[in-house]
Every structure is written in structure tokens, then in C-alpha cells.
């Protein structure tokens, strides 16, 4: 029987990763597994130059890598080939940038050259360090953080408060396991949904409201966000609601019905969420629209000092009005709609 205590990510942040980093990751995994947690991924975050020398995890498909925030210049330089390698995530911090066409052009080049990498890339704004969730992860200091898939904990709950109690119990259990470990940075209590059923945030919401659309103008998301920020025993990273359009398959269904526009995504993100995440984009979409979206997300992020990100997803072939074929188990194929 599968556990409902699911760790989405254990991420170790190391300025100079070495063999002991992998040993430590494995040790953390084993501690959690012994307490009935299901571990989905182990991850390592460092900078580009150090990751280039990380031969000890070369070919290790059990450890995902992140180069964190990478400068636009680095992307344009010789680091490009390295950044495009499979299993490596990175982000571009545009918090203080003068956003223009070149920033959108980067996305469309990924779509053209290596569309699967759109899954591993995000634009970020006011991004905090030490989140274990990729591609937003950034190095802040050495140590590890943990992120859960907390939607599964709500499976047999009849009220939101029951779910909140279960989340608090699991966070407390996790904290107590590592409270004396000086490398433990904290828990990112972000709600990271996935697929259909018990792992989907939209599925959970529809158990308490007549529809996803009806829930949008309630305080449901505010209540969840307030709880995960205030009751986490050792918060770190993002600690917000994720609305991954194509990873939460029931949210992807809402997108196809026209119920999850960019505007609705931004509305939810502004008061409770973390931005635009795995949002489908057609290969014939207007770069100008992408620039406009990046500018407004930057403006909202800076105005409210709120972490936000933008991650578009493309299969490199589907145009607006066509169905995607991602060939990615974490992304649901949809008929692509215009951004606006």
C-alpha cells in the first residue's frame, strides 16, 4: 500500500558538491523512508561552473541537477550546451531586468532547438533561495531542504481543517527527524499537485466547491496559503500554492475548457500562488505576448515583494489550436489555446 506521506523533493545545496553530497542525500532519503515516507526525487543544486565538474553524478538518473539562477550572458556563452543537457534545470532572474524581445527569444529558441527543456526552465522574480522545487531552486547556503506532495494527505479528509491537521502533523514529524541536523535548512510547504485524483489540487477543491470556477472567488486559496505560511515549523523557499497547468491533470482539463486563462492564473497567483507554471504555449504564439506577460509578472512581483515565476511548456510542434504531444509523463497533452 502506497504512503500518503510523499516527499516530492529532497534537495541538497552545495557550493562545492562532492561524493559526500550524494552520501548525505542517500542518508536523508533512508531516514525518511524508514518512517514511512515515499520519496519521489533526490536533487542537487549548485552553480554552473561547479556542476560542470560534478562527474560523480554523471549518468546518475536518480539525482536531478539544478544550476539555479543563470545570467543571460551565461546562457548566451559556452554554458549553453551544458545547460541543455537532460535532467538539468535552471532559471533566469528578471527581477531587475529591462525586459525586451531578447528574453522572449530565449524561450522560443528552446522551443525550436530543444523543446523538452522548456520543462526545466523558468523566468523568476524575487525568487527566494533554498527551495527544493525545480526549476526555481537557487543556491543560498550549503544544506538541504524538503518539499512534499501534500495534496495526497487530503484523500480521506472531509474538511479543509482535517487536511490542515494532517499537513501540520507530517511537517512536525519531518522537522523532528532533522531538527538537530545543522545541514537542515527547512521545509518548503508549497502545495505541489500532480496528475488526477488525490494528488490533484483541483480535485481537492472540487470536493468542497461546486466547481473550480466557483472556487476562484472564494477565500479557499487564501486560507490554504495562510496556513502553509504560518504553521510550517521551519519554513524555507517559496511556501505558496503551485498551479502547474499541465502537471495537475485536472487543472489541464479546466484549461481546455477555457477555465484557466493567463488572467485567472495571475489573479490566483497574486493572492495565493507562485506564478505561471507549465503553461502551454503554441510554437506560433506571439513573442510580444510573452514579453508583455513577463513585464506584468515582474511588475506584480516587485510591487508586492512576492516570489513569482513563469514557466511555459511546448512540445516544439503544436501550434495554437492543435493538440500537444509532450511525451512527458508529467505533462498532460492539451489543445493549445492562445495566451490571450
pLDDT at residue 78, rounded to an integer: 61
pLDDT at 1 over 60: no
Determine the Cα angle at 322 with ends 327 and 193, to 5°. Answer: 50
Domains annotated for the chain, with CATH where assigned, are 6-313 (3.20.70.20)
pLDDT tens-digit map of 51-72: 887 766 544 558 999 999 998 8
pLDDT at residue 41, rounded to an integer: 95
CB 241 within 8 A of CB 268: yes
pLDDT at 84 over 90: no
pLDDT tens-digit map of 290-300: 999 999 999 99
pLDDT at residue 55, rounded to an integer: 67
Three cell numbers at 338? 492562445
**Alpha carbons 329 and 338: distance in angstroms, whole number:** 24
List the single range of 26-30, 44-48, 134-138, 319-323 with lowest mean pLDDT: 44-48
Amino acid at each position: 500500500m502506497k504512503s500518503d506521506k510523499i516527499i516530492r523533493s529532497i534537495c541538497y545545496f552545495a557550493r562545492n558538491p562532492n561524493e559526500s553530497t550524494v552520501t548525505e542525500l542517500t542518508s536523508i532519503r533512508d531516514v525518511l523512508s524508514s518512517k514511512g515516507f515515499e520519496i519521489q526525487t533526490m536533487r542537487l543544486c549548485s552553480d554552473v561552473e561547479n556542476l560542470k565538474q560534478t562527474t560523480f553524478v554523471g549518468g546518475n538518473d536518480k539525482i536531478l541537477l539544478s544550476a539555479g539562477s543563470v545570467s543571460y550572458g551565461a546562457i548566451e556563452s559556452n554554458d549553453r550546451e551544458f545547460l541543455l543537457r537532460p535532467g538539468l534545470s535552471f532559471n533566469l532572474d528578471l527581477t531587475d531586468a529591462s525586459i525586451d524581445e531578447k528574453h522572449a527569444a530565449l524561450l522560443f529558441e528552446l522551443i525550436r532547438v530543444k523543446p523538452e527543456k522548456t520543462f526545466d526552465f523558468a523566468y523568476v522574480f524575487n525568487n527566494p533561495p533554498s527551495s527544493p522545487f525545480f526549476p526555481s531552486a537557487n543556491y543560498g547556503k550549503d544544506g538541504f531542504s524538503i518539499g512534499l506532495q501534500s495534496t495526497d494527505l487530503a484523500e480521506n479528509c472531509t474538511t479543509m481543517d482535517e487536511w490542515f491537521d494532517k499537513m501540520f502533523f507530517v511537517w512536525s514529524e519531518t522537522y523532528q527527524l532533522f531538527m538537530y541536523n545543522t545541514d537542515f535548512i527547512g521545509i518548503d510547504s508549497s502545495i505541489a499537485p500532480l496528475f488526477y485524483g488525490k494528488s490533484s489540487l483541483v480535485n481537492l477543491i472540487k470536493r468542497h466547491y461546486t466547481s473550480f470556477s466557483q472556487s476562484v472567488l472564494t477565500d479557499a486559496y487564501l486560507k490554504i496559503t495562510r496556513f502553509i505560511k504560518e504553521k510550517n515549523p521551519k519554513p524555507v523557499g517559496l511556501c505558496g500554492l503551485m498551479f502547474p497547468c499541465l502537471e495537475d491533470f485536472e487543472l489541464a482539463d479546466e484549461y481546455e475548457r477555457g477555465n484557466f486563462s493567463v488572467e485567472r492564473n495571475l489573479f490566483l497567483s497574486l493572492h495565493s500562488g507562485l506564478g505561471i507554471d507549465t503553461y502551454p504555449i503554441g510554437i506560433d504564439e506571439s513573442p510580444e505576448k510573452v514579453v508583455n506577460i513577463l513585464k506584468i509578472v515582474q511588475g506584480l512581483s516587485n510591487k508586492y515583494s512576492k516570489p513569482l515565476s513563469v514557466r511555459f511548456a511546448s512540445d516544439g510542434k503544436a501550434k495554437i489550436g492543435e493538440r500537444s504531444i509532450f511525451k512527458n509523463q508529467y505533462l498532460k497533452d492539451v489543445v493549445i489555446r492562445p495566451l490571450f
